[in-house]
């Protein structure tokens, strides 16, 4: 597992953390992440995925719909969001590795309203694992590691 602490504390740029990571290392980290996610929900039952917690501080400023900004996230919502974010990162990494520029987002998130069972969540994590590993396997033998993209203006 990577320690993102130095990046979060702005002691290190994400590029420094990622230095030396190629497709095989990223595949290993993907396997580790998906296994940890599956382990975390191992004992969960269907009701756990549709339970709406009381979160008066909920404030999703990036919500696709204005009515979802103050929505408390269910466990199912967390699963579909984390898998979508990981898949988007894998797709962007493949684009960069091929020597292309990033032009907009590359994201699809399964509607969180569908994520109401333990079986759905497990299948979603496994599907995400397969998709991400496939994108890593598609990297060219000599990836364009000099290619760079930063979605945030205030970060390196």
Q: What is the pLDDT of residues 67-97, one digit of tens each?
A: 889 999 999 999 999 999 999 999 999 999 9
Mean pLDDT estimate for the chain: 93
Question: What pLDDT does 135 receive?
Answer: 98
Instruction: Compute the chain's Rg from CA coordinates.
Output: 17
Question: Which position has the token pair 């020597």?
Answer: 99
Range with lowest mean pLDDT among 40-49, 104-113, 122-131: 104-113
Q: Confirm if 4 and 99 have CB atoms less than 8 A apart.
A: no
Lowest mean pLDDT segment, chosen from 13-17, 30-34, 142-146? 13-17
CA distances from 51 to 54, 91, 109 (A): 10, 31, 20
Query: What percent of the chain has pLDDT above 70?
Result: 97
**The pTM is what?**
0.90
Rounded (10°) angle between helices 118-137 and 23-40: 180
Q: What's residue 9's pLDDT?
A: 95
Domain residue ranges of the chain, discontinuous segments joined by +: 22-137
**Cα(130)–Cα(133) distance, integer angstroms:** 5
């Amino acid at each position: 597992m990577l320690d993102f602490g130095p990046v979060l504390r702005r002691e290190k740029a994400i590029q420094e953390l990622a230095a030396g990571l190629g497709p095989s290392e990223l595949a290993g980290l993907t396997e580790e992440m998906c296994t940890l996610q599956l382990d975390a929900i191992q004992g969960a039952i269907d009701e756990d995925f549709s339970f709406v917690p009381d979160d008066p501080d909920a404030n999703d400023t990036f919500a696709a719909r204005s009515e979802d900004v103050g929505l408390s996230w269910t466990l199912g919502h967390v699963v579909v969001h984390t898998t979508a974010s990981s898949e988007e990162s894998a797709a962007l990494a493949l684009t960069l590795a091929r020597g292309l520029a990033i032009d907009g987002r590359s994201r699809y998130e399964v509607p969180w309203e569908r994520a109401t069972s333990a079986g759905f969540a497990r299948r979603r994590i496994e599907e995400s694992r397969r998709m991400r590993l496939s994108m890593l396997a598609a990297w060219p033998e000599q990836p364009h590691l000099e290619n760079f993209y930063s979605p945030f203006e205030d970060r390196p």
